[in-house]
Amino acid sequence: MILVTGGTGLVGSHLLLNLVQSGHRVRATYRKKDTINRAKHVFSYYTDKVDSLFSHIEWVQADITEIPSLLNAFIDITHVYHCAAYISFDPKYYHTLRKTNIEGTANIVNLCLSHNIKKLCHVSSIAAIGAIDTKKINTEESSWNKEEDHSVYAITKYGSELEVWRGCQEGLNVVIVNPGIIIGPGYWRLGSGHFFKRIARGMTHYTTGVTGFVAIEDVIQIMVSLMQSTLINERYIVVAENLSFKDFFNKIANALKVDPPIKRASAFLLEIAWRMDWLRCKLKGKHRKLVKQSVKTLQRVSKFDNSKIKTALNYSFKPMDTSIASTSHYFLNDEDASSKAT
């Protein structure tokens, strides 16, 4: 049986759909019962047999930071996809990020070792790829620079990888995937989904930074293929294309048939913006929308080399234009998403 941690997230829900459609016996973890409906909503984008497919998933309520709740989840498991993670760039959540992303991953690794799991696939991020030098293309061998001003999310995702490599040294077969910004439907308040929502509302400013992007379908197919292969103890950058944020925003605007952002957000404006956001958060106690490290990312040219995974699996990525068009279609036809965007 296969275990998927974080089954109610973007990656987890799409992975579950893939696995049950392929006839696998699957168990998935969730933290709060109402979040299961999110995964069910994702299923509804792709199939009319939502209830039938969903019935093949065995759901277990478990928190990866609490070992007792995980013990039942590991009964009779042979393979584990570790998708659960806490995502935030706000420094005030650093301890929560550490507990979930590092300690939680350590718990998963330890249970994999004690239950003789055949293989673990860990979902990391390009945020954990170390190189910051904008003149070089990042590869899996780029070394982590601990002196760099990394985001709290990046620090904890890097820390989670160290736990996975520890498990590898203790005899666990592992593969790590480092996706870029993942494009896919269902989570319009988070990640790339938030960009679709903002642009639909009328986003005015763009930034000149460059980073890696990838379709959710590619991420899932690569994860499944790696787990079914004999490849072990490697990490793989999973990026289809390196795009500027300006081009990315324009592609979304074109797909949604709205006006694209036309004003460049200067470095000066962004520096003011994150400081004003910090003040707003302090005065009103609200969540941060923009932090210093995010501003750097929005301006930095960070390119990623996908040749390792393409060679390892003889894989061809889905064009980003196609992924953005399909995600835009789901957005426009999702009554809840499109109504909140107007």
* CATH code, domain with 29: 3.40.50.720
| Residue 169, in any domain of the structure | yes
**Residues paired with residue 59 on neighbouring β-strands, in sequence order:** 28
Q: How many domains does the chain have?
A: 1
Answer yes or no: is 97 within a domain: yes
Residue 182 in any domain: the answer is yes
Q: Give CA torsion, residues 312, 315, 321, 327, to 10 deg.
A: -90
Alpha-carbon gap, residue 85 to 28, rounded angstroms? 14
Q: Which of 62, 61, 9 lies closest to 38, judged by CA?
A: 9
pTM of the model: 0.93
DSSP lists the bridge partners of residue 238 as 179
Q: Which two tokens stand for residue 177?
A: 């995937």
Q: Is residue 102 part of a domain?
A: yes
Phi (first) and psi of residue 216, to 5 degrees? -60, -35
In this predicted structure, which of 2-11, 184-193, 212-221, 222-231 has the lowest mean pLDDT? 184-193
Query: Is residue 125 situated within a structural domain?
Result: yes
pLDDT digits (tens, 9 = 90+) for 97-144: 999 999 999 999 999 999 999 999 999 999 999 766 567 899 999 888
Q: What are the structure tokens assigned to 236, written together?
A: 């793989």
Q: Are 215 and 268 in contact (CB under 8 A)?
A: no
Q: Hey, which of 27-36, 136-145, 303-312 has the most confident mean pLDDT?
A: 303-312
Which structural domain range is residue 101 located in?
2-186+211-248+304-334
**DSSP code, position 57:** E
Q: What are the pLDDT digits (tens) for 152-194?
A: 999 999 999 999 999 999 999 999 999 999 999 999 988 889 9
Give the integer Cα–Cα distance in Å for 327 and 100.
Answer: 29
Indicate the range of 81-85, 192-196, 310-314 predicted with least confidence.
Answer: 192-196
Task: Please report whether residue 225 resides in a domain.
Answer: yes
In a domain, 23, yes or no: yes
- The radius of gyration computed from the CA coordinates of the chain, to the nearest angstrom, equals 20
Quote the pLDDT of residue 342.
Answer: 47
Q: Are the CB atoms for 243 and 132 separated by under 8 Å?
A: no
For residue 288, the one-letter residue type is: R
CA atoms within 13 A on the CB side of 245: 24
Residues with Cβ < 8 Å from 68, sequence gap 6 or more?
Answer: none
Q: How far apart are CA 214 and CA 245, in angstroms?
A: 14
- In the structure, what pLDDT confidence band is assigned to residue 338 with cuts at 50, 70 and 90? low
Residues whose CB is less than 8 angstroms from the CB of residue 314 and which lie 6 or more positions away in sequence, other chains included: none
Per-residue model confidence (pLDDT) at position 133: 58
Residue 21 lies in a domain: yes
